[in-house]
Structure 1
Amino acid sequence: MAIPWLSALKVIPWGDVMSHAPSVLQKARDLMDRRREDVAPQPMATPNVHDDVPSLGELKNRLLTAHVQIDALQQRQSQLTQTVAELAEQNAALVSAVSGLRQTLRLLVGGLVLAFVG
């Protein structure tokens, strides 16, 4: 089972991945900031000009606007939850790959010690 991981880890250019990581992180932050600017929060309550009681139609419009905003927030939350779950899976895969590499390294060091002793 460790053989496919080892071959997959050998194929990945880790130097390039590590050198590009800061720029990828910066681009992701820029994208998140731009996304926040695009979706500016709209005030839920509008002040009444003459302290009049809002009409039923105005209340319905406010309610519809609130429902649209709630739906958008729920969709964004589900997307973020999915992203976090994917990152957790990738992190678990990396941890298992690193533990496999550590075990392989220990075996190799032990073999080298036995070879030099023998």
Structure 2
Amino acid sequence: MTALKVIPWGDVIEATPGIVKSARKIFTRSQQAEEAATAAATSPGDLSARVAQLESSVAQLAEQQKASAELIETLAEQNARIVEAVDALRVRTRLLIVVSSLLSIACVGLVAWRLV
């Protein structure tokens, strides 16, 4: 539970709408490209019109690929921040264990010294 407190949820929550918006754009563009490719394949128009349509589809796919790469980069950055937070938590936990152990030993030693 403490690990969840260390994660910068404010940053994660702040970035979430942008990520969702990007994912929706990518999904919409992929559907449009698929529909355009299907229309170009089924329409018996002239060859130059079909080539232009296919070029447009390729351009859309390149744009989608770029958007996907940006989305993946954003997710990777968030993942890196979470890993850093968990690593910091791990270090703090070890430090707390050491300090708690030393305090426990000191308390036991103090009680034993008072009993003597």
Task: Report TM bin, short chain.
Answer: 0.5 to 0.7
Q: Distance in 1 between matches of 2:18 and 2:74?
A: 17
> Does 1:117 find its partner at 2:105?
no
Q: Percent identity?
A: 17
The offset of 1:80, in angstroms, is 1.9
Q: Deviations over 1:26-56 (max 9, x none)?
A: x7347724873695532222279xx872201
Q: In structure 2, list runs of 5 or more residues that go unmatched.
A: 110-116
1:54 aligns with 2:45: yes
Distance 1:98 1:81, change over 3 A: same
- Please, which of 65, 70, 74 is the counterpart of residue 56 of structure 2? 65
What is the distance in 1 between the residues matched to 2:68 and 2:80?
18
User: Which one has the largest radius of gyration?
Assistant: 2
Alpha-carbon RMSD: 3.4
Residue deviations 1:65-108 (CA, integer Å, cap 9, x gap): 11111111110121122123212321221121011011011011
In the alignment, the residues of structure 1 paired with residue 19 and residue 80 of structure 2 have an alpha-carbon distance, to the nearest angstrom, of 23
Q: 2:20 aligns with which of 32, 47, 53?
A: 32
Matched, 1:74 2:65: yes
Provide TM-score, normalisation by structure 1.
Answer: 0.62
With CA pairs under 8 Å and 6+ residues apart, which has the higher RCO, 1 or 2? 1
**How many angstroms apart in 2 are the aligned matches of 1:34 and 1:76?**
7
Which segment drifts farther, 35-44 or 57-66? 35-44
TM-score normalised by L of structure 2: 0.63
Unaligned stretches of 5+ residues in structure 1: 1-13
| Equivalent pairs, count | 99
Distance in 1 separating the partners of 2:58 and 2:44: 21
2:91 maps to 1:100: yes
